[in-house]
Each structure stands twice: as C-alpha cells, then as structure tokens.
C-alpha cells in the first residue's frame, strides 16, 4: 500500500485540490468478478486472470494485477478480483475450489463452456508474485504448443515417420530471465514461419511435467534452465529418432540455424527443399531479432529455486506481515476521514443526535457508516467532489449507497449489523463506492423529495458530476445522478448481488469480433465506432477541425442517461491496426458513428461524422423504426451535424432512443423497472414507463419469452390493439424468481411462511404457478390487478396446472383494468 503525504497549508480549498490530485492519480481498479456474468466475461477474452485475495492480501494483489495489466502482457488479458465478503465470493470459491489465500486461477477463454471449471494454472500463497504470473501469462499467450506427458509421447516421440524437426523448450517459473528467453524463441518461430521453414515448436514446464525429462530427454550436459532440445527423425530409420541439446546462449534465428546445420538437423520447407538463413536474408525487422538483447546468464539447475522464500521487501509485506497492512489500513481510513470532513458538515462518521435506538446503531454509525443530512445531501449526492476529476473511468461508476432510516424504527435497529457488514464489504470494491446513513427524522426535506415512505429503504445513486467539465452536458442536466431502488430482503448477500450489477460501467469496450460473439438478449443495444484521437486525423474527416470530433465521454453520457434501458458497446474500429488502441485513458477516444439495434431486428444509424442528423433520424426508407410510435419533432437546423454541438447531439440521441426503444412486447428487468433519473425527462406517450400508461406484466418462464412463443405472439397482438393505452412487458421468472414472487397481494408471503411445512418442489402456492398477468402503474409499486383473478390462498400441484393465456382473455383483462383501475387494483407486497 502506498501513501501520498500532504504538506500544504491547512486550508479547505488547498486540501480539496490535493485530494482531487490524489484521486486522479489513483483512479484505477481491477473489476469485481460477478457470478452471473463470469462465463460471458471469460469467453470474451483470450485469457482471464481471476484473483481470490483475503483481507490481509487484498491491497497487494490488487496492485500486482494493476502492474501486470499495464505491461505488454495486458493485451487481450482480462483481470478480475473476487473481493472478500462480497456476494460472489462463496459461489466462485466453491466453483473454482479455492482453499488457500491468496489464490489466482488462469483461464483460457477459447471454447469456454457455461459452468466450466477448467483451469490452465492455479497459483496460491507465495506463488502469487509478479515474475511467476508473467511466466505463465507468456506461456498462455504463446502460440507454441504446451506439451503434457501424453502429448509429448504422441506428438514428439511418436512421429517416427516424419523428418520435421521439433524444437522443445524446457523451462520453469523459478528460472531467471525465462520470460525474455521465451520471447526471443517466439520471435524466432515467427521469422521461420515467414520464411516457410518446416519445423515445430513446443514448451514443457518441468515444474508441472516432472516425468518427461527423466524418462525421455538426454540432458546430462544441460547446466541451466531454460534449455532447448531438438528432436528429429533421420533418413536412416535404423538410427531411430535423434535428439540434441541446443548449445547456444539465446535461441535467435541465426544461432538456431547455425546449430541445426552443424548438427545435421533438417532446415527445409514443406516440399523438402533445403533453406539457407542469414541475418540479411530478409528485410523484415524480425530477422534481426534480439541482436542487441542483453540477458543475464541463465539459472543453474537446482531445486532450491522452486521453493525459495527469498522475496522482495514488497513481497515480504504481502505474505507475512498482516500487522503491517493493518497499520496501513488504519492510516488509509484516517485519510478518508479527512476527505469526508472536507466535504462538509454531516459527512463525517458522526451519530445523528436524534437517532438514539441502542448501542448497535451507535457502534455502526461510529465505526463504519458515514451520515448525510439535508445540508450535505446536494454537495454529496448531486454535486459530489468528484466533479474535479475531468474524465470518468470506463471501468467503474461512482456510486453512493444511501440507507434511509428514522427514529423509533425497530427494523432499522435490527438491521444495523447488516448495514455495518455492507460498509465493511464495500471497502474492498474501491474508492468509487460510498455508503451513507440518512436519518429522515432529523432531516425530513431530502426524504420527502426522494419520496421515502418505508424504513429502512436502500437506494443507490450513480453519480454523474464528473460531467461538469465535458462539452456534452446540456442545461437539461440540472442534477447529475441516476437512482436505482433496491426491492428485496435486507440481507447482505442479496444487497451485494444487486449492487455488484449497479457499479458496472455502462459502456464496454470491445473489438469487432468480440461484438459479433455477443448474443443479443437485451431489447436495445447502442454501438459506437471509436478511434484513438492521436491517429484519428489519418482516417476521419476534419470538416470543422479535430476539436469538434464527438468524444467517447459524450457517448458514455448517452448510455448513463439510458441506464437500464439499453446496453452500450464502444467498438474498436477494424479500419486501423489494433496496436493503435493504447491503454492511456478513455479521453483519447473519439466516436465516428453510433448505431441503434433492437431485438426485433430494427437497426438505425443515429449519428455519423459529417452527416446531418436530420437525414439519419428521419430516414423514410427505414420505416419500421417508426412503427408503434407517434411522430416526433426534434429541434434541429438544416444541415446540423453532431460535431457542431456535442450537448445537442447527446440530448437528441437520448430522446430518439427513449422515443423508439419500446418494442411491442418489452422484456422487463429488475434494473429497468427500478431505475429513475434526476434530469428533466419529457413525458411522452412512447416513453416506456410514462405515468399516463398502465403496464401489463406477463410473468413467464424463459421458454415463453422467445419471439416464436405462442404467448408472446398473443401479447404482441394485444400490444398493437392497445398501443396507446398500455405498455406490454414480460418478466422472466427464472431470471428474477425473487422479484416475481413479490407481485402478490399484501401478506401473501406471510401465508406462504405459515404453510411452508406443506410446500414441496411440486406443491406450491397458486400464485407461484406461471404464466400469469399483472397490471400496474409504474409510479405505484404497491398496487396491482391480477389475472387469473385472485382467490383465497391455496396450494396446488404445479404439474397439474396447464395454463394458456389467449389473446381474447388478455385483451379483455387489460381493457377492464384500464376502465376500472381504482376498483380492480388491490394492495400488494412492495414489488
């Protein structure tokens, strides 16, 4: 853990400026692994490094992964962490059989299957250090074959009829300069491939494959690791297969060629023609590989290196001095306390005087939880000090979790241990997450504005104040946050599971192939084609100058404003070499075009550099995008382009997506239903959750959500019949079982508990049999109408219930509720 000491004067403004500088310099984290998306994440990358630290080693493991990510080995490698006490720790620990801490598992993404536990390499405790991880990363990224005992016997020793030589490099992670040695060998392979040399290259990790060398390799003269042995078959079959130890110091193209020719190892092409090599035989730079390399002498063969405990000072602190990290944590906590005090009155960890319900509350508020008041609400939630950070990290969102309580609230007292555990768990997520306690008894104004009616209430606020210094912010953004309400049991694991999805970035950067590999399950997707600003001038038009290019941050704002409504991807353009995409910050990217895709096959170009917006948005040839929607007018001048006014363009894209994202039947998610924003929104009839339209929710199993499902076809017919009177949606009860179970009358769950002794896998409460329908008003999450009609509580055998919902009965139910909303809506659990 590192520190930055403040040596300035004791002035608030100076402290703020210093803290902002520290924040900017350290705005880098390793993403948290999520149980629900881990398989997709692994498949999206060639290599995934998944780390499991404990509390004592979390900081050092995090720093170690950051260091690796910033090296040349970071390309196409994904780094994830499983934080201690997080919602995903237990299932992921069980899945990957983690028994020691810290543990790092290294995984291949190619051909990864759902639920797989296939690990290329598992490292734990003293093995989790930079040189060993670099070693295995180099091996994983290498195109050379990794031999096991079985494959070595088959593919190296078993090729008695082939004259193609095989070069095998024997290495181990404890050897000095092994990574550089392997890089030299890989470059030699590339040079030989470009020349058409018929030759195989392979690797053997002698630490893992302990039987290959003593059984099959003659290396009595080998004095260092790594070493190379050539295997080949001579023309004289009686002599059998030959092997010879490479005697050169480094396996450059020239030294390998000279060794092979002097040892009568064939140096031929695929047609059997003898080839000749010299350092000047090719114009490629690779022919000069490592002419100036300077490596130290390779490591003498010895077992002491594989179990050494001679670690650096940093590693000693990492593995053996937990007390050291406890002291560091205490200092960091004190620094954060100073930062909190700078924010203003009430942000410190002080107990609100009016809340006096027992020692649990006192201890929690004193030890872990910061508090908010009416006087500090705006500066903390709406205009947080993060606005001094000019650009927002694509890898994380700044999120504040606020727990609303009040005096004389017994549930608040009983759940205080849960809130304290949450605060303890969140400290491992990163500095971009804050947890606050808000007492509505002593500060009622903010609670009234936020419409808090029950206690305790848990709400997350994604903060957007970082946009203050970006040109894409319009005057419509008066307050900068997105609100996401938690609806579920006050249980730490449930809240962490929900929260881990909220902090994910709204925009994911992928390449073209990565985008093609993503199956579209969401209703709406936006893709932005991005270029590095440093080279964009070679490829993009400069009609109004390079400063007018639409920045990636503006597209990120579009996606933040559409949070929960659309998924967003920034796609690295295939028009330029991928090496041009550096890892030096999101602010270096510009957007050339933005496309909108809908799950029903609709596709539209929203913006293209140099093209007037009105010609794209009112494209009559793409008339299907305007089906199901009434005409709209946008305040656009003739010929106005996106680069002419970034803020205007951002607003127009958000408006257009909100106007046209509605499908006849929309797949509803927990996030989209419980997300709201603080900025001004138009109340249009096409808005998915307009307060004027009731929402028909079909609670269905996953096999009833597809476009070919008879139920979806019936719902689509109803949607077109009543398109200007209701919104038609589905909720996948297999994806959101807990949420689906809350669409029931008030006290229904209490009756479920009372009858729990009679409930089995087959015998269930009647309202837990699907499909069924609900009609709700999006502004009221405690009233609904139901179909089939509600009867007294009863248990049924779900295998005996075969329910089909036909168009006529769905239509009749919807019309009855629209015409008799007050009489048909009944009080429900809070959904």
Residue 144: pLDDT band (50, 70, 90) is: very high
Q: Which residues are 551's β-sheet partners?
A: 590
Rg (CA), the chain: 31
pLDDT of residue 237: 61
What CA–CA distance (Å, rounded) separates 166 from 714? 64
Question: In this structure, how many other beta carbons lie within 10 angstroms of the beta carbon of residue 10?
Answer: 7
What CA–CA distance (Å, rounded) separates 539 from 637? 27
Mean pLDDT of the chain: 76
pLDDT of residue 281: 46
pLDDT at 480 over 50: yes
pLDDT at 703 over 50: yes
Mean pLDDT, rounded, for 404-428: 84
Which is more confident, 758 or 302? Answer: 758
Of the listed ranges 226-230, 435-439, 688-692, the one predicted with least confidence: 688-692
Mean pLDDT, rounded, for 789-799: 83
Percent above pLDDT 70 for the chain: 73
pLDDT of residue 82: 92
Tell me the pLDDT tens digit for each residue of 91-109: 999 899 898 899 999 999 8
Question: Prior bond to 771 cis, omega within 30?
Answer: yes
Widest distance between CA atoms in the chain: 97
Of the listed ranges 36-50, 116-130, 232-246, 682-696, the one predicted with least confidence: 682-696
Strand-strand pairing, 47-52 and 77-81: parallel
Residue 545: pLDDT band (50, 70, 90) is: low
Mean pLDDT, rounded, for 12-26: 54
User: Which of the given ranges, 10-24, 349-363, 407-421, has the highest pLDDT on average?
Assistant: 407-421
pLDDT at 303 over 50: no
pLDDT at 202 over 90: yes
pLDDT of residue 322: 36
Of the listed ranges 314-328, 369-383, 594-608, 745-759, the one predicted with least confidence: 314-328
pLDDT of residue 11: 66
Which is more confident, 552 or 331? Answer: 552
What CA–CA distance (Å, rounded) separates 529 from 550? 11
Which is more confident, 120 or 358? Answer: 120
pLDDT at 490 over 80: yes
Strand-strand pairing, 299-300 and 224-225: antiparallel
Contact (CB, 8 A) for 817 and 694: yes
pLDDT of residue 23: 42
Tell which residue, 118, 91, 86, has the closest CA to residue 105. Answer: 118
Of the listed ranges 282-291, 431-440, 588-597, 677-686, the one predicted with least confidence: 282-291
pLDDT of residue 254: 86
Of the listed ranges 26-30, 384-388, 409-413, the one predicted with least confidence: 384-388
What CA–CA distance (Å, rounded) separates 436 from 402? 5
Tokens representing 319 are 């593995």
Which is more confident, 113 or 290? Answer: 113
């Amino acid at each position: 853990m590192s520190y930055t000491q403040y040596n300035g004067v004791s002035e608030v403004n100076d402290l703020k400026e210093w803290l902002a500088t520290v924040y900017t310099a350290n705005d880098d984290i390793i993403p948290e692994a999520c149980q629900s998306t881990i398989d997709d994440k692994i498949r999206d990358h060639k290599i995934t490094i998944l780390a499991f630290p404990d509390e004592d080693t979390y900081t050092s493991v995090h720093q170690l992964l950051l260091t690796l990510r910033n090296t040349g080995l970071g390309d196409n490698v994904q780094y994830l962490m499983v934080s201690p006490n997080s919602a995903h720790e237990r299932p992921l620990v069980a899945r990957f059989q983690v028994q020691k801490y810290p543990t790092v598992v290294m995984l291949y993404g190619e051909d990864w299957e759902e639920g797989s536990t296939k690990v290329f390499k598992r490292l734990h405790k003293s093995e989790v250090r930079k040189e060993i991880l670099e070693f295995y990363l180099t091996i994983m990224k290498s195109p050379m074959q990794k031999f096991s005992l079985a494959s070595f016997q088959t593919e190296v020793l078993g090729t008695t009829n082939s004259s193609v030589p095989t070069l095998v490099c024997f290495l181990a992670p404890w050897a000095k300069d092994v990574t550089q040695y392997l890089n030299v060998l890989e470059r030699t392979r590339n040079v030989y491939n470009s020349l058409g040399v018929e030759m195989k290259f392979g690797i053997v990790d002698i630490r893992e494959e302990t039987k290959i060398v003593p059984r099959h390799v003659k290396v009595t003269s080998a004095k260092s690791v790594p070493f190379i042995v050539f295997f080949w078959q001579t023309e004289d079959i009686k002599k059998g297969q030959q092997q010879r130890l490479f005697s050169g110091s480094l396996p450059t193209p020239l030294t390998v060629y000279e060794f092979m020719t002097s040892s009568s190892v064939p140096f031929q092409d695929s047609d059997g023609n003898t080839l000749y090599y010299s350092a000047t035989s090719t114009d490629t730079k690779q022919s000069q590989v490592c002419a100036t390399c300077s490596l130290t002498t390779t490591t003498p063969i010895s077992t002491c290196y594989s179990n050494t405990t001679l670690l650096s000072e940093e590693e000693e602190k990492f593995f053996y001095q937990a007390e050291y990290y406890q002291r560091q944590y205490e200092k960091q906590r004190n620094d954060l306390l100073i930062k909190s005090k700078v924010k203003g009155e009430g942000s410190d960890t002080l107990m609100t005087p009016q809340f006096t319900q027992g020692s649990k509350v006192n201890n929690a508020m004193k030890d872990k939880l910061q508090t908010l008041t009416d006087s500090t609400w705006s500066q903390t939630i709406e205009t947080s000090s993060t606005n001094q950070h000019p650009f927002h990290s694509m890898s994380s969102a700044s999120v504040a979790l606020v727990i609303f309580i009040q005096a004389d609230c017994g549930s608040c007292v009983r759940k205080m241990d849960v809130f304290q555990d949450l605060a303890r768990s969140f400290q491992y997520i990163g500095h971009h997450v804050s947890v606050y306690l808000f007492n509505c008894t002593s500060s009622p104004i903010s609670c009234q504005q936020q419409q808090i009616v029950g206690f305790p209430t848990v709400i997350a606020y994604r903060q957007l104040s970082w946009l203050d210094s970006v040109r894409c912010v319009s005057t419509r953004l008066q307050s900068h946050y997105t609100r996401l309400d938690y609806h579920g049991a006050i249980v730490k694991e449930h809240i962490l599971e929900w929260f881990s999805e909220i902090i994910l970035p709204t925009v994911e950067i992928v390449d073209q192939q990565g985008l093609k590999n993503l199956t579209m399950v969401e209703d709406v997707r936006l893709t932005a084609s991005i270029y590095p600003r440093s080279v964009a001038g070679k490829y993009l038009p400069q009609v109004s100058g390079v400063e007018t290019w639409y920045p990636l941050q503006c597209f990120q704002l579009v996606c933040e404003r559409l949070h929960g409504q659309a998924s967003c991807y920034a796609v690295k353009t295939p028009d330029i070499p991928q090496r041009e995409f550096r890892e030096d910050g999101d602010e270096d990217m510009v957007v050339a075009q933005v496309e909108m895709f809908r799950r029903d096959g609709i596709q539209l170009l929203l913006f293209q550099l140099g093209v007037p917006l009105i010609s794209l948005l009112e494209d009559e040839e793409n008339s299907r995008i305007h089906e199901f929607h009434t005409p709209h007018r946008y305040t656009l001048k003739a010929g106005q382009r996106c680069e002419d006014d970034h803020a205007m363009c951002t607003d127009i894209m958000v408006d257009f997506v909100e106007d046209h994202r509605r499908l006849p039947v929309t797949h509803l998610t927990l996030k989209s239903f419980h997300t709201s924003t603080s900025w001004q929104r138009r109340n249009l009839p096409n808005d998915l959750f307009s307060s004027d339209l009731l929402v028909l929710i079909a609670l269905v199993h996953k096999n009833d959500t597809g476009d070919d499902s008879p139920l979806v076809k019936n719902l689509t017919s109803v949607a077109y019949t009543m398109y200007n009177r209701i919104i038609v949606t589905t909720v996948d009860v297999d994806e959101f079982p807990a949420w689906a179970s809350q669409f029931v009358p008030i006290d229904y769950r209490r009756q479920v508990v009372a009858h729990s002794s009679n409930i089995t896998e087959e015998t269930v409460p009647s309202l837990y049999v699907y499909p069924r329908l609900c009609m709700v008003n999006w502004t009221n999450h405690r009233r609904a109408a139901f179909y089939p009609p509600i009867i007294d509580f009863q248990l049924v055998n779900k295998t005996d219930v075969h329910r089909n919902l036909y168009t006529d009965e769905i239509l009749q139910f919807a019309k009855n509720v629209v015409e008799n909303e007050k009489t048909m809506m009944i009080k429900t659990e809070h959904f």
